[in-house]
Amino acid sequence: MKHVRVGLVVPSSNVTVETEMPALLRRHPDASFSFHASRMRMAKVSPEGLAAMNAQRERCVLELGDAAPDVLLYACLVALMAAGPGEHQRVEAKVAEQLAAGGAETKVRSSAGALTEGLRALKAQRIALVTPYLRPLAEKVVHYLEAEGFAVADWRALEVEDNAEVGRIPGDRVMAAARSLDLTGVDALVISACVQMPSLELVEQAEQEFGLPVLSAATAGAYSILRANDLPVAIPHAGSLLTA
């Protein structure tokens, strides 16, 4: 059985990605995974807070490079999307360059890039999404996805700025926001466009209720990690993306 070391660069206040990602990937039939995180200080999901957090990236990558992970996931979607179109490609390239300079042969992914990768894998063109962010940041996420070629038919912002509070958003609030969306002609629903907003228990429930593919930043991240390591996309009870 193949073993994969996963490096995670996460906001300091994030308590979800290190729970949901292992829960997803431990279901894989052909591989085992270990998780190794480095944290960037961030409490409020604001432009200023995200910029200050991103400035800590190089230190986190340096720390994780010592563990020589097989794949590194930059696990804060809005931190990259808020910086403007194409930012995930620039940051992934910079991180890969830094790791290579230290001698690590690590594949690099990001939550922002993984979401676009997952949507393309589903052949989705017209999408809807639920975000926890304040409206101005949610608009940046929408514009980022539109720049990637997706038509965003409808979206909701739950207007939560405190990142610790994002990690406590109840599933029924997320589902209520999803039910308020106009899903006419939509190819896929992003139930959580944030790795901190809990989603794992909602994906299959939402697929059954709405009758269309549903993914989240977490399931997209797991998909990208599997693809980066040439592993079959085979995780039960996690939505269409992970059973492709």
229 marked ligand binding residue:
no
Binding site annotation covers 76? yes
> Which residues have a catalytic role annotated?
76, 194
Q: Distance (Å, rounded) from C-alpha 78 to C-alpha 99?
A: 23
91 a known binding residue?
no
Please indicate if the annotation marks 133 as binding a ligand: yes
Q: Is 195 annotated as a binding residue?
A: yes
**Is 78 one of the annotated binding-site residues?**
yes
Q: Between 135-147 and 111-121, two packed helices, what is the crossing angle to 10 degrees?
A: 50
**129 among annotated binding-site residues:** no
Compute how many other C-beta atoms are within 10 angstroms of the C-beta atom of residue 177.
Answer: 19
Distance of CA 75 to the CA centre of its chain: 6
Torsion of CA 227, 61, 54, 238, to 10 degrees: 30
Is the alpha carbon torsion for 159, 163, 169, 174 positive or negative?
Answer: positive
Binding site residue list for substrate = 14, 76-78, 133, 163, 195-196
